[in-house]
Amino acid sequence: MVTIAVRAAREASKVLLRYYERADVLNISEKGRNEFVSEVDRNAEQVIIEVLREKYPNHAILAEESGTHAGDDYQWVIDPLDGTTNYLHGFPQFAISIAMKHKGRLELGVVYDPLRDEMFTTSRGSGALLNDRKLRVSNRKGLKGALLGTGLPYRDFRFRDQYMGMLNELIEETAGVRRPGSAALDFAYVAAGRLDGFWELGLSEWDFAAGALLVREAGGMVTDIGGGERYLETGNVIAGGIKVHNAMLRKIRPHLDDKLNA
């Protein structure tokens, strides 16, 4: 199944690369506040679905642009272009994310950066790879010297104050915080040890399902921001090596409220 997911990602990447830095020729619409979609997103998603359906015609699908497709106990979770705003501006940070769940449990994940030809892959119990290299989260002991990733609020500002409180706490303790704009790649970078930790509020499942399994299979922790296991449901998430994750959790907890942790 990982092989099929990799094939789907590579086929979709051909669509993305064909129009990269040519946003002027694309049909672009706004599907929500500060949230854009183009024909590239839709076409890349259709390519992924076609590759998966050819091999697994009975599997269910959850895709960002086309929604839910009914099927059996297997479900593919697809983001054909994570980092659409980056892509449309020619900013070189975007990826394709494909995960698969069986009876609700994550079983495999693929995150592909077509510009760097970096293929991050994982399956439950088999570890995580970047191309053919085994991945491991960083072994940093705490926040001192840590490099963190995050995602600033850009469409849902209900929890802006809580987020800014978390940010203020963490920038004082760390070597820096980065906001590149693709959660799928942020998680992949945590798995690869390029980032020591990551947190964000309000993600969608397709943004980070594959990345979450990458981090866990690379020896890291992924929880919701209260420390629980409902991160795919809430979209409020912390990821990192175990000690960095726990240190982030301690800094973030004072800024939680009932609505944010619901």
**Dist CA 213 CA 179 (whole Å):** 21
- Edge to edge, the sheet with strand 74-82 lists 67-69, 60-63, 74-82, 95-102, 105-113, 118-123, 128-130, 133-134
Question: pLDDT tier at 20 (50, 70, 90 boundaries)?
Answer: confident
For residue 152, pLDDT over 90 is answered with no
- Residue 161 annotated in ligand binding: no
- Residue 82 annotated in ligand binding: yes
What does DSSP say about strands 118-123 and 128-130: parallel, antiparallel, or unpaired?
antiparallel
| DSSP state for residue 158 in the 8-state scheme | T
Tell me which CATH code domain 147-255 carries: 3.40.190.80
The residue written with tokens 């946003």 in the block is: 23
Question: pLDDT tier at 258 (50, 70, 90 boundaries)?
Answer: low
Where are the domains positioned within the chain? 2-134, 147-255
pLDDT in tens, 169-223: 999 999 999 999 999 999 999 999 999 999 999 999 999 999 999 999 999 999 9
- Residue 79 annotated in ligand binding: yes
Predicted local distance difference test score (pLDDT) of residue 39: 81
pLDDT in tens, 40-86: 888 999 999 999 999 999 999 999 988 889 999 999 999 999 998 89
Mean pLDDT, the chain, as a whole number? Answer: 92
Fold match between domain 2-134 and domain 147-255: no
Predicted local distance difference test score (pLDDT) of residue 77: 98
What does DSSP say about strands 74-82 and 60-63: parallel, antiparallel, or unpaired?
parallel
**Dist CA 230 CA 219 (whole Å):** 19
CATH topology of domain 2-134: Fructose-1,6-Bisphosphatase; Chain A, domain 1 (3.30.540)
Q: Is 200 in a helix, a strand, or coil?
A: strand
pLDDT in tens, 88-131: 889 999 999 999 999 999 999 999 999 999 999 999 999 999 99
Compute the Cα dihedral for 28, 29, 33, 36 and give only its sign: negative
- Residue 81 annotated in ligand binding: yes
